[in-house]
Amino acid sequence: MSRIFITGSADGLGLLAARLLVAQGHQVVLHARNQTRGKEALHAVPGAEAVVSGDLSSIEETRHVAELVNDIGVCDAVIHNAAVGYRESRLIRTVDDLPHVFAINSLAPFILTCIISRPKRLIYISSGLHRSGNPSLEDLTWRTRRWDAYGAYADSKLHNVILAFAVARRWPEVLSNAMEPGWVATKMGGHGAPDSLELAPVTQTWLATSQDREAVVSGRYFYHQKPKEYLPAATDQSIQDAYISECARLSGVAFPV
d(CA 18, CA 218): 22
- Catalytic pick from 86, 124, 157, 221? 157
d(CA 187, CA 142): 26
Residue 62: in which H helix or E strand, if any? helix 59-72
Contact 119, 77 (CB under 8 A): yes
Question: Could you give the dihedral angle defined by the CA atoms of residues 209, 160, 101 and 118, in that order, rounded to the nearest 10 degrees?
Answer: 60
- Catalytic pick from 86, 124, 153, 230? 153
Provide the residue type at 18 as one letter: A
221 belongs to the catalytic site: no
d(CA 10, CA 21): 14
In sign, the C-alpha dihedral spanning 37, 39, 40, 46 is: positive
d(CA 45, CA 18): 7
153 belongs to the catalytic site: yes
Q: Is 147 exposed, middle or buried (0-12, 13-18, 19+ CB in 10 A)?
A: middle
d(CA 222, CA 214): 10
If DSSP codes are grouped into helix, strand and coil, which group holds residue 177?
strand
Contact 41, 32 (CB under 8 A): yes
Instruction: Calculate helix-pair angle for 59-72, 108-115, nearest 10 degrees.
Output: 40
Q: Which residues are catalytic?
A: 153, 157
